[in-house]
Structure 1
Amino acid sequence: MYEFKVQPHQILIVEDDEHINNIIKDVLQKENLRCTQAYSGTEAKLIAARDQFQLIILDLMLPGLSGEGFMQYLRDELKCDTPVIVLSAKDQLDQKLNLFELGAVDYVTKPFEVKELLARINVHLHRNTKTESSDHYRHKNLILNCTTRSVVVNQTELNVTRQEYRIIELLLKNPSRIFTKQDLYELGWDDMYMGEDKTITVHISNIRKKIKMYDDQTYIDTVWGIGFRLSP
């Protein structure tokens, strides 16, 4: 897991012009940024429902679902607040204002300079990382929000108990550490461990089941004879 500030940035490029899409991808990859490409609003919708991104670069004139329609889906249905930088030949003020109302954080008019786009991307990635790193932790498709004390997997909030939340928090904040049952009990319950029982094992099992409902990946490993740790 990993706190956002040490995660490789994942960027979704939604642009139906293959040449422009590839130019943006090549520039970002040279900056060690990871990219996923989509060539229609419909394809972007499927990808956004499946994966998490730190930034989305979005053209408006797309086949299938429009850029505006994709943003509405992102905000209204997925409840996703990922920053969106819009690329468009449209340059009227009222159109720009409408996009900002839909949730865009920036607007770049075509044709554009790649250096300018990259500068804007870096500004928003830095801003997003600075804001989120203090109270958000992420591992794979799981996000822990320390402010709201919520656990979200693939855009779905899990119904976790106080102890389950505390176990998840300990694991995500300490990704390389192996916790014994005594560690988890004393740190999670603020109480002295009284010897071997099944309390921790049951809570770990319940957490795994709740995550499994929305993601088949493994999140917690059992280290036999020692305890538990976050899965790599």
Structure 2
Amino acid sequence: MRIALLEDDEHIANLISLWIEEEGHHCTIFPDGRKMLNALKAGSFDLLLLDWMVPEIDGEGVLLWVRENLNWRIPIVFLTMRDNEEDIVKILGLGADDYITKPIRQKEMLARITALARRANVLDTEKSASAELKYGPYTIHLKTNTVSRNDDAIKLTKKEFELVLFLFRNLGRIVSRGHMLESVWGHSQDINTRTADTHISRIRNKLGLLPENGWRISAIYHHGYRLEQIDGDEAVTH
């Protein structure tokens, strides 16, 4: 899971990042709200952790921008010293999903992150690891790492399967090329964006993810891709 942390206290930020990395996730630290917003405009994350009082643009400002501008409801957790009831009610009312007061307790924070990610379908769970995921005519068989369309098996390479799974888990959401490369190829791999573009083209053709079939993979300029299901009327016009 790709997590963005807004925290201007370097010691706290590094400690939280360490806890997150030890859980097997990737954490990117932003010391001020403006830097985080610039990153959100160019990239994508699975979950945001926001401190309230930070330089440039505060956590509340970041929250409002995210809810007004991102095309999907990314989970957001506030981590802050402000613990009075009015503040908690306000920030939850503005669209935060959870609120944790400082000092942060490691196990509690990680449990809340896991619960939110599970509800948002951005985290594999024990149940889903042994199940099948269905999206219209497509079935993703997680036990065998295979995909079928109307019960007909589709031959995919290992990376093509992982990319299909990543895109369907993020159905309707814009995902950056960097997010895609990190999730499918691993952030330590020296892979260029042309590799992702080539794999996108292959799975589009193999799965028939085309407007005439009610599906579309759109390239978003300077950002990444979005897989979406389109209605019948829109499909006819393409």
TM-score, length of structure 1 as denominator length: 0.59
Q: Provide the residue aligned with 1:44 in structure 2.
A: 36
The aligned counterpart of 2:171 is 144
In structure 1, distance between residues paired with 2:221 and 2:205: 25
Work out the CA distance in 2 between the residues paired with 1:115 and 1:74: 27
The CA deviation at 1:71 is 0.5
1:106 matched to 2:114: no
Of stretches 60-69 and 124-133 in structure 1, the one that deviates more from structure 2 is 124-133
Using the TM superposition, give the Cα deviation of residue 49 of structure 1 relative to its aligned residue in structure 2, in angstroms.
1.2
Q: Percent identity over the alignment?
A: 28
Q: CA 1:53–1:189 in 2, change beyond 3 Å: closer, same or farther?
A: closer
Secondary structure at the aligned position of 1:26 is classed as: helix
Which digits, 9 at most, give the CA deviation of each residue in 1:151-201, with x for residues without a partner?
7466xxxxxxxxxxxxxxxx98x95x973xxx849x9868xxxxxxxxxxx
1:129 aligns to what SS in structure 2?
Answer: coil
TM-score under structure 2 length normalisation: 0.58
Structure 1 consecutive aligned stretches of length 4 or more whose deviation exceeds 4 Å: 130-138, 151-154, 187-190
Note the C-alpha offset of 1:213.
3.3
Alpha-carbon distance change, 20 to 74 in structure 1, aligned in 2, over 3 angstroms: same
Q: Using CA pairs under 8 Å that are at least 6 residues apart, name the structure with larger relative contact order, 1 or 2.
A: 1
The equivalent residue for 2:116 is 124
Q: Distance in 2 between matches of 1:34 and 1:128?
A: 17
Change (3 A) 1:27 1:77: same
Distance 1:134 1:214, change over 3 A: farther
> In 2, distance between residues paired with 1:77 and 1:216?
16
Aligned length in residues: 165
The amino acid across from 2:40 in the alignment is: A
Q: CA 1:178–1:81 in structure 2 vs 1: closer, same or farther (change >3 Å)?
A: closer
- Residue segments in structure 1 that go unaligned for 5+ positions in a row: 1-8, 146-150, 155-170, 191-206, 220-232
- 1:213 lines up with 2:205 in the alignment: no
Name the structure 2 match of 1:28: 20
Instruction: Establish whether residue 73 from structure 1 lines up as the match of residue 65 from structure 2.
Output: yes
Counterpart residue type for residue 102 of structure 2 = K
State the AA in 1 paired with 2:219.
I
Q: What letter is aligned with 1:144?
A: L
Whole-Å separation in 2 of the counterparts to 1:134 and 1:15 = 38
1:57 aligns with 2:57: no
Which one has the largest radius of gyration?
Answer: 1
